[in-house]
Homo-oligomer: A and B are copies of this chain.
Amino acid sequence: MTATDSRLHDLQTPALVLDKARMMRNIHRLATCIRAKGAALRPHLKTVKSTEIASRLLADGLGPATVSTLAEAEVFAGIGVRDITYAVGITPQKLDRVAAIRSRGCDLSVILDSPEQAHAVAEASDRLGMTIPALIELDCDGHRSGVAPGDPALVEIGHLLHDSAAELRGVLTHAGESYEVYGREAHAVFAEQERQAAVASAEMLRNADLPCPVVSIGSTPTAHAIKNLDGITEVRAGVYAFFDLVQAGIGVCKLDDIALSVLTTVIGHQRDKGWIITDAGWMAMSRDHGTMGQKIDQGYGVVCDEVGNVIPDLIVIKANQEHGIIAPRPGSDAALPDLPLGTTLRILPNHACATAAQFSEYNVIPSEPGATLLKWPRFGGW
């Protein structure tokens, strides 16, 4: 028999479950750590997409914040968040919407890495009679977007912003490649790489008589590993509120820090094959298989009983649209447990951002023992 939680019994499955005590522990751990080092924390709200959770993640419940879509900026500005960075490269087509959010009293800044974008932000600021602030994105690790540190384009872009109706707000970088290495020491190397890229670029701008008030770095692995924040004004991180198997697999958290899971029901068995079939396929878990290249491949998720205790070596080995197939991890000699038809289980996800996005509601297990389940809505879209 697996342990059960009566508060979850009335849920139709699959359902998204959030363990509030774990989430609050994750939130406080990083906030305390960054505050102690003298920088601000600017949580990324792209993972949670929930006003209830944002109010718990943000300093004083109101900011500063990072978002990945203008839909997020609109929702969070709507609850009074007053300082938001939209951290995906801006396009000309989105600037009217940025201006509309700013006109509601939210200091929304954009990011960019090209003279073309700087021209567009300058033109929109001029046309709309509104100063739109922009940070210059830096490429500290070859991961994705950004100006290479030391590239003269940095100063060119800085001037285009500063010598126009727009505003040069600072520089920003993200060590996306830190997800590919294991352990605090390896993440600290990426953190220092983020710091050096950002600080050197800020210096380059200041040496050209340009302002650089904001020097922003961060990713969940580097934010937890960074030793030195000299010259840095703020740190960004997002998935840490929930954590997930990818983060556990690179040593940023433990399995029992993971606050998000998918409640599922056993719908059948293929006993000859050693399969248990559930109603949480990839539509519930997402297609993210981010642990595939890690030391331990967790398939489409780690299986727990209804209370959240990990069942050793039991994973979702395969996911169809509305079917998950559970079996012992390949190579394990664990026996398949007896989980009869109708048993409810919880599955820890590879990637919290992707799994949460498949649902419109969190079923929140409150921190207080015995308290009833809460429902927190979640939004999506752009």
Q: Which residues in A have some Cβ–Cβ distance to B below 8 Å? A: 12-15, 46, 68-70, 88-94, 97, 112-114, 116-117, 120, 139, 142, 144-145, 176, 265-270, 273, 277, 279, 282-284, 286-289, 320-323, 325, 340-342, 353-354, 357-360, 380-382
Which residues of chain B are within 8 angstroms of A94 by Cβ–Cβ distance? 12
Whether B266 lies near A354 (C-beta < 8 A) is no
| Residue in B closest to A380 when the chains form the complex, CB atoms | B360
Whether B269 lies near A68 (C-beta < 8 A) is no
Whether A267 lies near B342 (C-beta < 8 A) is no
A366 and B14 CA atoms in complex are apart in Å by 35
| Most chain B beta-carbon neighbours within 10 Å: one of A92, A282, A382 | A382
Whether B113 lies near A144 (C-beta < 8 A) is no
Whether A381 lies near B360 (C-beta < 8 A) is yes
Whether B341 lies near A283 (C-beta < 8 A) is no
Whether B93 lies near A268 (C-beta < 8 A) is no
A310 and B358 CA atoms in complex are apart in Å by 29
- List 9 additional A-B contacts (Cβ < 8 Å) besides A12-B93, A91-B266: A12-B382, A91-B279, A92-B342, A113-B268, A120-B341, A176-B320, A283-B354, A321-B354, A360-B380
Listed from nearest, the 4 A-B pairs whose CB atoms lie closest are A287-B287, A89-B267, A116-B341, A287-B288
| Residue in B closest to A14 when the chains form the complex, CB atoms | B382
Whether B269 lies near A114 (C-beta < 8 A) is yes
18 A-B interface contacts by CB (under 8 A): A12-B94, A12-B382, A13-B91, A13-B93, A14-B382, A46-B321, A68-B322, A88-B267, A89-B267, A90-B267, A91-B342, A114-B341, A116-B340, A117-B341, A283-B354, A287-B288, A321-B354, A357-B358
A175 and B284 CA atoms in complex are apart in Å by 22
Whether A322 lies near B69 (C-beta < 8 A) is yes
| Residue in B closest to A361 when the chains form the complex, CB atoms | B381
Whether A282 lies near B13 (C-beta < 8 A) is no
Whether A320 lies near B116 (C-beta < 8 A) is no
Whether A321 lies near B353 (C-beta < 8 A) is yes
Which residues of chain B are within 8 angstroms of A176 by Cβ–Cβ distance? 320
| Most chain B beta-carbon neighbours within 10 Å: one of A93, A117, A342, A354 | A93
Whether A287 lies near B13 (C-beta < 8 A) is no
| Residue in B closest to A113 when the chains form the complex, CB atoms | B268
| Most chain B beta-carbon neighbours within 10 Å: one of A139, A286, A341, A381 | A341
Whether B144 lies near A342 (C-beta < 8 A) is no
A89/B268 contact (C-beta < 8 A), A120-B341, A144-B325, A382-B13 known: yes
Which residues of chain B are within 8 angstroms of A360 by Cβ–Cβ distance? 380-381
A97 and B13 CA atoms in complex are apart in Å by 12
A358 and B288 CA atoms in complex are apart in Å by 13
Whether B322 lies near A46 (C-beta < 8 A) is yes
A282 and B289 CA atoms in complex are apart in Å by 12
Whether B287 lies near A323 (C-beta < 8 A) is no
| Residue in B closest to A115 when the chains form the complex, CB atoms | B341
